Amino acid sequence: MADGKAVGGAPVRLTSTVKKGGCAAKIAAGTLSELVRGLPKVTHPDLLVGTEHLDDAAVLRLNPEQALIQTLDFFTPILDDPRDFGAVAAANALSDVFAMGGRPISALTILAYPLGVLDNDVLTELMAGASEVITEAGALLVGGHSIEDDTLKFGFSVAGLAHPERLWTNAGARVGDVVILTKAIGTGTLSAALKLGEIAPADLRSATASMRQINRHDLPDELHAAVHAATDVTGFGLLGHALHVANASGVGLRLRPESVPTLPGAREALAAGNLTRAHASNERYVASSVTGRAALDPVTWLTLVDPQTSGGLLLVVDGETAEAVTAHLTPRFPRTTRIGVVEELGVLPPLRLA
């Protein structure tokens, strides 16, 4: 893995050029909710998914057989190697389409580039890494838009297709369903360690490989239909995105913290205090919606609010089919784990840790 290059050819660590990197740079979930609360509500008979339930993408019905999925995502560097950063930015943007149960068809680049700071070769490497991942996902890179800026920001607007009756959304989890997570947690704390130069090379390699992996699942029809709700785990942490599913579905999620897989070095990085600002904002966002925190050690709690970049899919699956879904996903996603169940909402907070 290589650093980028500054104008003039000197090596430069991309993460050193920004204060916050990856999905940890998102506006805090609570703040974002306040910002969008007063915006006009958009309704249309063919708007199948809008902003009501904080889903991963918007969905517009084109005809009885096709729905258009639209999403976009961009952020500042989370890695120093430009090719890896480009690949992760693409994988993260594509993930929203996979999380809606669709397949991506095209991507447009979103780029803010500091021409006076970074060499042109950095952009070449960014686009090379992104192109590899977009092609792997079965989509086409068809253009984009760029501006000159003081700091590097990179991402994609992605379009996808799905059958209107085969969509996955946050709403749909049913009592008795099983909660499945497909990737290990820890990219937030490990990226903080990288920025400080305190990450082991092996841990950086495993985190990079996890973030580069696209969330393409290729579930056969009968298993696809067994997924009642879905999202991907990104900047709001596992609990933040689980809360969106619980609230949208009107259910409680009982999660087993000890079952949540973590990336190599993540718990050590958290114990050493390698935190982002998003750890605190994610904690505030879910605090009133969680029961069972008092029984957890501090590091385990922090894994649950760790802001992920290009994290895994959180799938809520029919209980009788969960084993088959897990078996199908495991060869592609070896850390796939059943981490909880869906319960009646009742009087308890929607997120129950036990």
As given in the structure block, the two tokens for residue 349 are 């907070």
Residue 200: C-alpha distances to residues 2, 266, 268, 292, 293 (Å): 15, 11, 11, 33, 30
Residue 205: C-alpha distances to residues 122, 191, 209 (Å): 20, 12, 6
What are the residue numbers of the active site? 23
48, 51, 38: which is closest to 248 by C-alpha?
51
126, 135, 117, 141: which is closest to 75 by C-alpha?
126
As given in the structure block, the two tokens for residue 39 are 């915006």
